[in-house]
Structure 1
Amino acid sequence: MGAEGGGRPRALRMGVFAGCGALLLAGCASMPDSGGLSGVESTPRQDAQVRVFAVPPRENAGPGEIVRGFLEALTSDDPRYETAREYLTDSARRSWNPDASTTVLSDGPNLEGAHSRSGEAQDDYAYTLGGSRLAVVDSQHAFAPDSGAYSTAVHLTLEKKSKQWRIDSLPQGVVMGKSDFQRNYVSVNKYYYASNVPAAVTGQLSTVADPVYVRGKVDPVTSMVRSLLAGPTRWLNPVATSSFPSGTALGKGVTSLSPDDQNRLTVPLNGKADRVGPTQCSRMAAQLLFTLRDLTPTGVSQVELQRSNGKKLCDLNENRAEIIASHSTGGGADEYFLDGKQRLVSLSSTSKDPEPVPGALGEGAKKLRAAAISLDEERAAGVSDDGRNLYVGSLVSGSSLGDPVLTSQGALPGDRLTTPSWDGGGDLWVADRDPKRARLVMLQQGAGEPVVVSTPGLDGRINAVRVAADGVRIALIVEQGGKTSLQIGRVERDEGSDGRRSVSILELHSVTPQLEEVTAMSWAGDSRLVVVGRESGGVQQLRYVQVDGSTPTVAAPTSLTGVNQIAASEDERLPLVAYSEDGIVRLSAGAQWQKVVKEGTAPVYPG
């Protein structure tokens, strides 16, 4: 457990304090001798470089002070919570597992209901820790929003020999307030390979991001390597695979890892990996490079894996890793949208004016209201102006369009086809909003018999579809009861004995519980989306959200009026593009929104 401590027993913060140096520990971390029982107050956000040191229990401290001191100690940078354990009895020390989970509260835990269970002897006390729960990080470091009341008991006893109060009963894991969590933990993507999907259009393996939270100033490199070796988190596991053999772990006696001054990281492994071949080893090393490349200030640019005997297994640098797997990109850098004539046009970073794309969709053979570009930028899909028909065409001059690959029978334009979306394997996704036959459809390689996707657990009608480039995660805007939410699901594919493929979207979960209305969204990174929506009674806003429902530390996009559609690339370096009341506009890093064209709609990047 932990806390967002106030002015009571505080964990000691060092690093950028003025007038609080290494020789002033006692003065900076003194504990009061008395004080009533109150909540452990919220700590203001601290500078990222501030080190936080735990304070041990004071001699003859009362039971309330012991509980508060323990909660404070858990917000420190103590790697193994050694100081926090000093607040526990010997038996509690042995049984308590702080790594079981981390519960995040809106504010620090409140201490409530102190009482003695032993009557007049008063050699024990029990307290209730209460608060409003926001999220839980489980033993796999996976984050999940989890609202509701939080209440748990902590019991103390007066030890007979030492005559000191100590905690002898407490729940597993830790608990702390939101600001302490944000100071202590950092979200990092670990990377695996997508399974049960067609080969990427580039022919490379397709990486899939698995975001987890680790303690940011407590050896995050080693924590992330251990987490990567342990395998995908539970939600992602059915659709992701690791190149590390089952049971692979760090070598015996390895307690900490850090890159050298050349940004090279050496990782000794146990015997489970001793017999892997060079191809598999390179894939293992690529996973490590993708996971660790941004975790340290200077990054990790090369990885060497070692056998259990210390001999080199293989090594890999960044350039070779990019050949092994597609990573951090959702396609090319060109932006696409529909011009005033409802033709599909493109705008490159080097051109000032949009140009019609080659082929029938750029020549205006059919007026469009939505379009999607394949990741290899060789094909495009377009929805007709009335929303009824879906066409697929080649982006080659002179190519014809052919018959629609899908037709909706919806009576009204708003009850027909959504904007389509391509995945990294070349499959095309779209939702038919016909109330009589609402369905999510996948067309293999953009053609053939449509595969109706099973969506168990989906409650509502799909307004928008965006499948991730990895092909195993999908984002849906779902409408139900006058409200819309952004939901993330896992794509599972299966092929029967007759060769027919079945596709399901499983374990859908909302990642925008605080928004009452979501009107537009797009993937904006490996595990991040940009969303247009509003809270109850609020105004329209743009924000980023993580696929696990957490809020990324990156600043939200600057405000923009009247946004109808938004487009981003999974390559985070590329600008946002939106269709607003000012037409097609663009937002580059460090700049303000700039108008591209007045007459234009439906912006998209490849994907």
Structure 2
Amino acid sequence: MGAERRRGRGRTVRAAALLGCGALLAGCASMPDSGEVSQVKASNPGDSQVRVYPVTPRENAEPGEIVDGFLEAMTGDDPGFATARTYLTKQAARTWKPEERTTVLTAAPVSRQPDRISVRETRNLVYPLYGKQIATVNSRHAYQPMRSTDYSETIELAQVTGPDGKSKEWRIARLPQGLLLGESDFQRNYRSVNTYYFASGRQWVVADPVYIRQRQDPVTRMDPVAQTVKALLEGPTDWLEPVVDSSFPTGVALKSGVTSLTPDDQNKLKVPLNKKADNIGLDRCRRMAAQLLFTVGDLGSARVEQVELQREDGRTLCLLGESQKENYRADPSGGLRVNPYFVDASGRLAELEVGAEDVGTPEPVPGPFGNGSVRISTVAVARDERRAAAVSDGESNMRVASVVADAHLPEPLVHSNGAKPADRLSAPSWDGRDGLWVADRDPANPRLLFVPGGSGQPLKVAAPWLTDGVRIEELRVSEDGVRIALRLTEGDKTTLHIGRIERRGSGAKQTVEVVGLQAVAPRMESVTSVSWAGPSRLVVLGKLAGGVQQVRYIQTDGSTSAAAVPGLNQVKAVAAANDERAPLVAASSDDGIVRLQAGANWQPMVDKGTSPVYPG
């Protein structure tokens, strides 16, 4: 096992060690001091147990060895990328900034023999680099996916005086800025973590995923917890910044010299800050601590249950414990949503008990959506599970009614004049503060609508991207109410995007706009269904280009989650809870409604049914 392999020239330039200490004797993480350095096969994607130890260039190394050696050395994590810098001229070593950005390719970059030799007296060599680029990570740790695109750059080599002062050695004089990694090496070296900020003007937190190093950061020398805290204090990613606030004042940072943060035996994490934090008031400090507690809560092997912010001199600023986190969640109703709902074969809304070993026979809910007053087609259950919004009458009307008590069938809140069902209302969606969303897909009047509080007059949402030829197939709003997942069809392609929800004012007088759309599954040829599956994770039903339909997890920044989902035939829709402990459910034309519990395979629950949904 090891890192990705490139076409080598001459002497191999890297070694690797397996750090699976649980299966080895003590001392397994030490550097081998004997044996040959040998080339290794490509690492398994995301295999963080593989550790790469780059080696310095040999004496009188050929130009190709220098190029390959440097590309290999970039995949290591030695302090300051010191080994990688030995392949550079002194000037290039001073100006190269690996922390500036990371370019991610489908596989390790390929270097080829120089296609030209310069006419300068130095006779520098220019080596082309090739690959397929799929993403970048910027200096703020934000991941940006893209469709697989040809990557083409160059590395220029020059001859410099060797250590003896007489001989000439080849070294890299010009190179692309930042790191250049294949996807496997990227997943081995980096991990996705959620930093948390407050929704603008609100008291609840929003997840902002970023990437940090799996182990010590070569540039800052920080461990993963310290890296994550540093990323939080630096502020949100550019995309999310317009709709969130940070309680940390400008200039507040970790105390100088702090590179490691570890919870004590009481699961308390002490975070020493610089002087900029010394005079912060108690209320603001608690909000800062809330951001930290959500951010570091599940980072390490030991769960952080309490955060203590400290002044530069070590005195306590404030404390915040696990029991207080509920005050800062978007959904005030709290509790684990273990049971999803679905539309049965008679068009009634029914609840499933997916957590029980024997699921039994599902019962229709109380009220007009369960008693047969109207035949519904799609539905969204409010997060407090007291109301639901249902689309009926051939997708023409959306109503909101109780699902806990009998009531009369209410008048529609939204009506569509689309000529056929497919051109009428989408399935609705609730955010965590009782905001209700639905799309009218009438080609003559396409609209994205928001109903504050789930009642009253719908507001038309400004959506500058909803132009002729763009159609909303499905929408799912995040619990925090500042992000919306959209399946959009344009031409013959249906793709997945995340939009940013910007609000001004409140109540019926507020204005709402969805902007900043980003493609989050650009490598998927088509997307059939989507559901939120956590604070920054989606479960998606779709098909990769040239592949078969599959269910997979995708982060909201577009990076792929390592969690695997077993295959399932003829899937029509998938649904997940915001709490990742709840089972995944799906609707299949072969097996009806099925569930997927942790460590198990798909299990049939109901022979016939459609539109499975968790609250939201």
* Secondary structure, counterpart of 1:454 in structure 2: coil
C-alpha offsets along residues 41-67 of structure 1, whole Å, 9 cap, x if unaligned? 955558422332221222232332222
Instruction: Quote how far apart the aligned CAs of 1:340 are.
Output: 2.8
Task: Tell me what 2:474 maps to.
Answer: 464
1:11 paired to 2:14? yes
- Structure 1 residue 374: deviation in Å? 0.9
Q: Which moved more, 1:73-82 or 1:313-322?
A: 313-322
In 1: Cα distance, 2:402 partner to 2:547 partner: 43
Q: Which segment drifts farther, 14-23 or 306-315?
A: 14-23
Q: Work out whether residues 576 and 583 of structure 2, in 8 Å CA contact, stay in contact via their aligned partners in 1.
A: yes
Q: Indicate if the aligned counterparts of 1:189 and 1:212 stay in contact, CA closer than 8 A.
A: yes
2:309 to 296, 305, 311: 305
TM-score (norm 1): 0.90
Whether contact under 8 Å (2:462, 2:513) holds in the other structure is yes
How far is the alpha carbon of 1:309 from its aligned partner?
A: 2.0
Query: Are the counterparts in 2 of residues 4 and 109 from structure 1 also a CA contact under 8 Å?
Result: no
**Closer, same or farther in 2 for the Cα pair 1:160/1:540, shift >3 Å?**
closer
Deviates more, 1:487-496 or 1:466-475: 487-496
Equivalent residue runs for 1:543-582 within 5 Å: 543-555=552-564, 557-581=565-589, 582=591
Q: Does the 8 Å contact 1:388/1:407 carry over to 2?
A: yes
Counterpart residue type for residue 73 of structure 2: A
Give 1:562 deviation, angstroms. Answer: 1.8
Match of 2:513 in 1: 504
Deviations 1:451-488 (A, max 9, x none): 11122234610011110111011011111112211111
* Residue 405 (structure 2) aligns with: 397
RMSD: 2.7
* Conserved? CA contact 2:46–2:562, under 8 Å: no
Give the 3-state SS of the residue equivalent to 1:363 in structure 2. Answer: coil
In structure 2, do the counterparts of structure 1 residues 499 and 21 end up closer, same or farther at CA, with 3 Å as the change threshold? closer
Tell me the equivalent position of 1:117. Answer: 118
C-alpha contact (below 8 Å) 2:451/2:459 kept by paired residues: yes
Which residue of 347, 356, 362 corresponds with 1:342? 347
Distance in 2 separating the partners of 1:372 and 1:333: 15
| Match among 264, 269, 291 for residue 268 of structure 2 | 264
CA offsets 1:363-408 (integer angstroms, 9 cap, x no match): 2222211111111122211111411111011334233332111111
State the Cα distance separating 1:517 from its structure 2 match: 2.4
Question: 1:51-97 CA distances to partner (integer Å, 9 max, x unpaired)?
Answer: 32221222232332222222211111214212212222222222111
Pick one of 498, 502, 516 that aligns with 1:488.
498
The residue that corresponds to 1:214 in the other structure is 212
Could you say which residue in structure 1 is the equivalent of 2:220?
A: none
- Please tell me whether residue 287 in structure 1 is matched to residue 291 in structure 2: yes
Q: 1:354 to 1:98 in 2, by over 3 A?
A: same
Equivalent residue in structure 2 for 1:230, among 227, 230, 234 = 234
Q: Deviations over 1:241-295 (max 9, x none)?
A: 1121122111122233233344332211112222222232222222222222222
Q: How does 1:129-278 map to 2 (within 5 A)?
A: 129-146=129-146, 147-160=148-161, 162=163, 163-195=168-200, 205-218=203-216, 219-278=223-282
Provide the secondary structure at the position in 2 that maps to 1:478: strand
Q: CA 1:269–1:67 in 2, change beyond 3 Å: closer, same or farther?
A: same
Q: Which amino acid aligns with 1:126?
A: V
| Cα deviation digits, residues 103-128 of structure 1 (max 9, x gap) | 01122112135244356764x32222
Distance 1:584 1:156, change over 3 A: same
Distance 1:271 1:577, change over 3 A: same
1:376 equivalent in alignment to 2:384: yes
For the residues of structure 2 that align with 1:404 and 1:102, how far apart are their CA atoms?
51
Bigger shift: residues 320-329 or 396-405:
320-329
Matched to 2:517, the amino acid is L
Identity %: 50
Give secondary structure in 2 for the equivalent of 1:505: strand
- Gap change, CA 1:316 and 1:170, over 3 Å in 2: same
Report the Cα distance in structure 1 between the residues aligned to 2:336 and 2:360, rounded to whole angstroms: 21
The corresponding residue for 2:61 is 61
C-alpha spacing 1:79/1:5, structure 2 compared with 1 (3 Å) = farther
Q: Does 1:364 align with 2:372?
A: yes
Which residue of the partner structure matches residue 52 of structure 2?
52
Distance 1:304 1:9, change over 3 A: farther
* Stretch moving more, 272-281 or 534-543: 534-543
Contact 2:105 2:183 in 1 (8 A): yes
| Structure 1 residues not aligned, in runs of 5+ | 32-39, 200-204
Q: Is the 8 A contact 1:336 1:344 kept in 2?
A: yes
1:315 correspondence with 2:324: no
Change (3 A) 1:125 1:343: same
Instruction: Give the 3 Å change call, closer, same or farther, for CA 244–512 of structure 1 in structure 2.
Output: same
What amino acid is aligned across from residue 152 of structure 2 in structure 1? S
Alpha-carbon distance in structure 2 between the residues aligned to 1:78 and 1:327: 43
Residue type of the alignment partner of 2:259: T
Look up the equivalent residue of 1:159 and give its one-letter code.
V
Counting only pairs closer than 5 Å after superposition, residues 525-604 of structure 1 correspond to structure 2 as 525-536=534-545, 538-555=547-564, 557-581=565-589, 582-604=591-613
What is the rounded CA distance, in whole Å, between the counterparts of 1:471 and 1:73 in structure 2?
43
Q: Residues of 2 paired with 1:55 and 1:67: CA distance?
A: 13
Q: Distance in 2 between matches of 1:396 and 1:591?
A: 32
Contact 1:489–1:509 (Cα < 8 Å) also in 2? yes
Relative to structure 1, is the Cα distance of residues 537 and 316 closer, same or farther in structure 2, using a 3 angstrom cutoff? same
Instruction: Find the residue that maps to 1:360 and give its secondary structure.
Output: coil
| Alpha-carbon distance in 2 for matches of 1:195, 1:575 | 32
1:365 aligned partner, one-letter code: S
Q: For 1:133, what is the secondary structure of its paired residue?
A: strand
Q: Which residues of structure 2 form unaligned runs of 5+?
A: 217-222
Q: Per-residue deviation at 1:542?
A: 1.5
Correspondences of 1:79-90 after superposition (within 5 Å): 79-90=79-90
Q: Distance in 2 between matches of 1:272 and 1:526?
A: 30
Distance 1:43 1:67, change over 3 A: farther
8 A Cα contact 2:331 2:479, kept in partner: no
Q: Which residue of 1 aligns with 2:96?
A: 96
Once the two structures are TM-superposed, the CA of residue 133 in structure 1 deviates from its matched residue by 1.0
Structure 1 residues 512 and 15 mapped into 2: Cα distance closer, same or farther (>3 Å)?
closer
Q: Identify if the C-alpha distance between structure 1 residues 284 and 278 changes in structure 2 by more than 3 Å, giving closer, same or farther.
A: same
Is 1:522–2:522 an aligned residue pair? Answer: no
Instruction: State the AA in 1 paired with 2:389.
Output: A
Would the alpha carbon gap of residues 326 and 505 (structure 1) be closer, same or farther in structure 2, given more than 3 Å must change? closer
Residues 153 and 542 (structure 1 numbering): CA distance in 2 closer, same or farther, change over 3 Å? same
* Alpha-carbon separation, structure 1, partners of 2:42 and 2:17: 18
Which letter maps to 1:206? W
Bigger mean CA offset, 576-585 vs 327-336: 327-336
Gap change, CA 1:443 and 1:284, over 3 Å in 2: same
SS in 2 for 1:340: coil
Q: CA deviation at 1:527?
A: 1.4
Cα deviation, residue 423, structure 1: 0.4
When structure 1 is superposed on structure 2, of 69-78 and 164-173 the one drifting more is 164-173
1:316 Cα deviation after fit: 2.3
Q: 2: CA distance between counterparts of 1:65 and 1:537?
A: 36
